[in-house]
Structure 1
Amino acid sequence: MIFKRLPTLLPAALLAGEAMGETQFVAEAVVSSMLIDRGEQIGGPTLEVALLAEKEAGAGVLYGGLYRLTPFGDDQAAFADEFDYTIGYGWQGAGYAADVSANWLTYPGEGDEASLELFGEVVLVELPLSPAIAGFYDAEFEDYGLEVTAGPEWGAGDWSGYAIGRAGFVEPGDGSETRSYAGVEIGAVRPVSETAEIGGYARYEVADQDSFADDIANGAIISAKDSGFAVGAFVAATF
């Protein structure tokens, strides 16, 4: 999966240890009841769509892609649309997989300023629960943060299940209070062909700030709470 808000951003071929001769394309679409990102709600009902191109380069995989976030429903006006451009590189070493990327974040139709976010992740693939650490830095607003995750995976017939525990913090560049958060996610994935899969997930997160909408009226959040719960479904295809 190529969304940062789902279990991993690392290129699919890299994690699977596959050899890629030609350029490979991965497309994904996710519909969720709430969009949670780093201990904060950034959408109510939301559609996310992404297209990623991957190609072997040196000892790893070079990739680039487009990502679109579109809130919908009665409360759509309370959240920003987002259109991102990504370029990155992933590779494997002895017992780990790593990824670095640069992401140009834009907000069409909104007053929010575009920014460059730098992202990195390391997954210890040979340890139990595949612990990982990821970090980001926004070069425009000087926000930064770290997140650690770990969790098991298992098989159940045609389905593969996973559970993830996560904890992290975000330090805003404007000097406002640091946001710390923790949460848990559980999900399942099923192949429907040699090149496509479907799945779903449930995610709960709690923060030390009121960063989740509690009441929305006239396109604005008028009260907030410190936790949120989301369910979602996704489809992905490789070609």
Structure 2
Amino acid sequence: MKSRALWTIYWLVVAATFAGAIVLVFNYTPNESTMGLIQKVFYFHLPIAICTFLCCFCNFVGSIGYLINRKRKWDDFAAAGAAVSVLLCTGVLLTGMLWARGAWGVWWTWSPRLTFSFMLWLLYVVYVLVRASIESSQKRAIVGAVYGLVAFLDVPLVYLSARLLPDIHPASIGLAPSMKLTLGLCFIPIVLATIGLVYANFRVNVARRQLAEANEQLNLQTETAAGGAL
């Protein structure tokens, strides 16, 4: 009961900070001179993108941890990171399309960063689908860990693409002090929501695994008892 109350308070804080961020974005921060209102998407696009990288890193760390010591909690953590990364990367692509429409007049263009971003989303969607298709829990964990290490290689490519390759994305963006303040505050609810989602997914993964292990043990005991009776 206590943990449920704390969990409720946590998400109320997330909701309150997110509402505050929206108020700041639309009522405090001035419109950008060139793009106007559509530029405000940036205040959410960038934090979501950074949190996507963090979730991919969680998957990477969990994958390494599982391959080193074979403890299933590492696999549970890796799977949680991947699931949330798919959600956040979807948000990155959608907000990026809104930005592209306002900045460049098109919804999508196959620039290096957008291409690598789409690849990142696709890699982790495939990760989730591959795990779901494998019945053996041990095989699922091993395949997921190896795949997770390979998929993470795309993260630095997304980050460096606009800096090392010709790209329509600017390598850096100049912001007025009020814009920098708003951007920094917009990170708070998105980071908190990301932490909460990864933790919630991790707990669900652990609970599902423990339930499956308990069922396997019960079935084994039932079969043993039936064999002894014969």
TM-score class normalised by the smaller sequence: under 0.3
Query: What's the TM-score once normalised by structure 1's chain length?
Result: 0.26
Structure number with larger C-alpha Rg: 2
Larger strand share, 1 or 2:
1
- Name which structure has the greater RCO, CA cutoff 8 Å, separation 6+: 2
Query: What's the TM-score once normalised by structure 2's chain length?
Result: 0.27
